[in-house]
A and B are shown apart, each in its own frame.
Chain A
Amino acid sequence: MGSPVVSIIGAGVAGLACATELADRGVAVELLERSARLGESACSWMAGGMLAPWCERATTDEIVARLGEPSIDWWRRHYPGTVSQGSLVLTPPRDAADLTRFAARTERYEWIDGDRIAALEPDLAGRFRRALFFPDEAHLEPRKALASLAAGLEARGVPIRFGIGGKPPEAGPGLVVDCRGLAARDELPDLRGVRGEMLVVRTRDVSLSRPVRLLHPRIPLYIVPRGDGVFMIGATMIESEERRAVSVRSAMELLNAAYTLHPAFGEAEIVELGADLRPTFPDNLPCIRRTGRVLHANGLFRHGFLLAPWLARQVADAVLLETRDADIPERRHA
């Protein structure tokens, strides 16, 4: 490719998806990342990786489901490791009403009984009587998915320049897409951080084929299988911008959820405990804003993987509109 037309700042899920979508459409891009390695300062590194528009629908704006639905296909096309096994929502029998509440707020699910739960997830046999099954949902391993996008870009000659970031004016002379997440606060004052905490454990004693959400009146949590006996457990949502390590209470809640789902998690090894801040606008929805030659694409909140493809399509549309008259005909029809 020739000299880049568009510089993208930030190689988290937003920046990587934007770069991929633009490259797909034949636009020459470069990607700048302030940290030295992929994922080092990206909150998507800590994500759950659920592509669960209808589960999310139960607790967020319905627009999240609408914008997120096409993402499942986008990821299947761009990351072969995407797992399309649906997802499961459970409660302990005592909190059964929460399952009904959850169901009333969303769609695209089936009520299933204990036998069906056992058929889907043999290790949960006999442990739960009712569940909601969302057959159309999917999940992925965020770190592998990010690495796969990065590798795909490199294979197409898109440079990812690590150790270079900073504010948009320092970037190249062409159009700039600012995907810095919370670091873009200097230019997006209404951006706030919403803290999330996660836990990774390893055990050979339990196996799951799909993400399981455990509803709880106060501490709703999910467990996502990452393969090879590794499970990610998330995620708290705290209106806090503190970057300190996971608190004992949060760790207890996360561990307790795993233990409730299956006591064998009690013997699992703790691999990682982490916390980060999700960049969020006041309506908890992503958006794209324009200042001069900079497009700010931000605010993915807890829907990084679910909504990054939508964000990327919007950015690509805007960039193509912008560069329609520019001197890059070979890219336009590539």
Chain B
Amino acid sequence: MSSFYGVELKSRLLLGTSRYPSPAVLERAVKASGAEVVTVSLRRESGTGRAGQAFWSLIQSMGVRVLPNTAGCHSVKEAVTTAHMARELFDTPWIKLEVIGEADTLQPDVFGLVEAARILSEEGFEVFPYTTEDLVVAERLVEAGCRVLMPWGAPIGSARGLNNVYGLRSMRAHFPEIPLVVDAGLGVPSHAAAAMELGYDAVLLNTAVAEAGDPVEMARAFALGVEAGRAAYLARPMEPRDMAVPSTPVIGKAALGD
């Protein structure tokens, strides 16, 4: 079982909480997904930070672990301030760290990310960094104190699946001991299954469920995809090859027709 800063989770699906038709639908989707961890965004516009309380207490009443995130932060300072606010509000050292570098692709600013990860780790936060599949950046994040890495599958909300399977596979090989989570860009359960088949410890998604025609059913479908992918990984899939290998031998088969 993978351990996220000492916490062992049965479900390998982490779910975001924004963009659902309503908190009631969100709650049913969380249940259907079996997720034990949900991410919650603290919009910085909340100012005092207390203002979103009605929504946040709805989420806390779902009985799942909250992973607050710094979504929408574009600078180290913003991200660090938001993390402080999150720790106070949700009483958790966990923080999903996003430092956005580019507004159109929401690509992480990996330089700011490493810096913020270092600051927050030193302050005792347990950082879940949203990063790319770049190995050097990943190394720096581990050096900064991160014990979980969350590379993107594709840009946030794009539903494109795993854009760089080679890169994600290298990352898995490079960090056999660090829990790895594919975060963002998944669209359908087969994308989640593909990530799990690569040996990833979990996937984190939001829009693919929240904006599905039926979010609750899609949440269930993703749970199945994650479970299938994980089981397949543990079952050690056969290697692909170029030529056919008949499952029934053709040489020496009985000659018919005489």
Binds B, one of A17-25, A42-50, A279-287: A279-287
**Would you call A260 an interface residue if the criterion is a C-beta within 8 Å of the partner chain's C-beta atoms?**
no
> Main SS of the interface on chain A?
loop
Question: What are the interface flags for B1-37 relative to A under an 8 Å C-beta threshold, 1 for contact and 0 otherwise?
Answer: 0000000000000000000011111010000000000
**Are A60 and B52 in contact, CB atoms less than 8 angstroms apart?**
no
Known: A104-B213, A240-B52, A241-B53. A247 touches B45 (CB 8 A): yes
Given A193-B54, A239-B52, A242-B46, decide whether A282 and B24 contact each other with a Cβ distance below 8 A.
yes
When chains A and B are docked, how far (Å) is the Cα of A195 from the Cα of B211?
Answer: 21
Q: A101 to B21, alpha carbons, bound, how many Å? A: 15
B27 partner residues in chain A, CB cutoff 8 A = 282
B53 vs chain A, min Cβ distance (A): 7
User: What is the interface size of chain A, counting residues whose CB is below 8 A from a CB of the partner?
Assistant: 24
In the complex, chain A residues 254-293 whose Cβ is within 8 Å of any chain B Cβ: 282-285
Complex interface: chain B residues within 8 A of A250 (CB): 45
Contacting residues, chain A, for B22 (C-beta < 8 A): 60-61, 282-285
For the complex, give the distance between the alpha carbons of A238 and B41 in Å: 11
B48 contacts A by Cβ under 8 Å: yes
Query: When the two chains form their complex, are residues A283 and B157 in contact, meaning their CB atoms are under 8 A apart?
Result: no
- Give the chain B neighbours of A217 by CB distance below 8 A: 157
Interface string of A50-62 (1 = CB under 8 A from B): 0000000001110
Judged by a CB distance under 8 angstroms, whether A130 is at the interface is no
Q: How far is the CB of B103 from chain A (nearest CB, A)?
A: 9
A-B residue pairs, 8 tightest by C-beta: A192-B54, A284-B22, A242-B51, A283-B24, A239-B55, A240-B51, A247-B45, A240-B52
Q: List 6 A-B contacts (CB under 8 A).
A: A104-B213, A192-B55, A193-B54, A239-B52, A240-B55, A283-B25
- Chain A residues near B (Cβ < 8 Å): 59-61, 101, 104-105, 192-195, 217, 238-242, 244, 247, 249-250, 282-285
